[in-house]
Structure 1
């Protein structure tokens, strides 16, 4: 009694085995009869053969008015070896790309590491920037006042003006210190820009 309840994969293996056993071309009707004797439902054989064709495990060619189907032993293993080789090549390419990314990350970290000196520079820069901004705002508020108020606070304004330029001077000194530590003007400029200081428009008050 033929086996029942064959899975789709079992049907594919059974039909493919027919081709490999004979190593000769088949007509579809002959495949259907032979496969049915081995437990593959007759009506399902055509779809099974088509699925094998789609996976390049079975070939079909029209000779005269008939379609002939064939698959020779070794084709399946050759196809599998080809797929494995292709996957190996893809894996190797991905591994190489990952290695390049790791190298770039290590290089970037080495060029400008997060050291204690950099952390101290960040704190100093943040403090100088905040104080500079505060004094500039205060100076602007003085400039918007009337003559009487300006006269009263003239001394304070001059002191603020000096303080702003003093902090500006400190910022330039800090810039020189950072450039010396990291040895790269572009990296130093990037460091300051990340903290809100752009030396393209940063200067003393006149």
Structure 2
């Protein structure tokens, strides 16, 4: 036998509202928790369901002394529906206004773009110019190696690299001199180490 399905939140809300509508009386939370199960709403969930109704202004509450009372009349639900309808109508009006503005912008953009022989000819001419521009860019790229600006840039980069290479060469000679002065007994080992890293007898400054 299948297990009976529990009430959804909306169904629980409706049942709790029925308690108010049928009695048209004021209730404490503990009273509603006792009445809830008779409507299919377990006592443990009455508080949360009640709070959701309060948040939506379907149930009113007020503190009298040390007690908090809850109440709701059918007219409260009617007023809530009226307020919701008013809000939706306002939003609908804004959407219609925005639609009208966008439609006007679209119509303005269409002006001067109507289909005609002149427009078609202008578009064809534009395509031809764009194609010619693309071909010229491709042709220009073939001569990039002879571009004076590119050549000057390469020359400047070469000079920087040349200066840097000689500066490091000078640093290496300085380091070799320091090693020879401080470790004369390791001359053979140092020369062997130099050859291993590519510093041979023909190592010299770049001209």
Q: TM-score range by the shorter chain?
A: 0.5 to 0.7
Q: Deviations over 1:126-172 (max 9, x none)?
A: 546739x96xx99xx9xx9xxxxxxxxxxxxxxxxxxxxxxxxxxxx
Q: Deviations over 1:49-91 (max 9, x none)?
A: 1121122211211111111111111111211121122112212
Matched, 1:118 2:119: yes
RMSD over equivalenced CA pairs, Å = 2.9
- TM-score by length of structure 2 reads 0.55
- TM-score by length of structure 1 reads 0.56
Q: Tell me the distance in 2 between the aligned counterparts of 1:97 and 1:108.
A: 17
Q: Tell me the distance in 1 between the aligned counterparts of 2:119 and 2:5.
A: 74
Q: Which residue of 2 aligns with 1:92?
A: 93
Q: Structure 2: state its 5+ residue gaps.
A: 147-207
Q: How many residues align?
A: 135
Quick one: structure 1 residues 127 and 49, their matched pair in 2 at CA, closer, same or farther if it must change by over 3 Å? closer
Q: Which residue of 2 aligns with 1:34?
A: 35
Pairing of 1:1-206 with structure 2 (within 5 A): 5-124=6-125, 127=128, 130=132
- Tell me which structure has the larger Cα radius of gyration: 2
1:4 Cα offset (Å): 7.5
Where do 4+ consecutive residues of structure 1 move more than 6 Å? none
Q: Structure 1: state its 5+ residue gaps.
A: 145-206
| 8 Å contact from structure 1 (residues 4, 39) kept in 2 | no
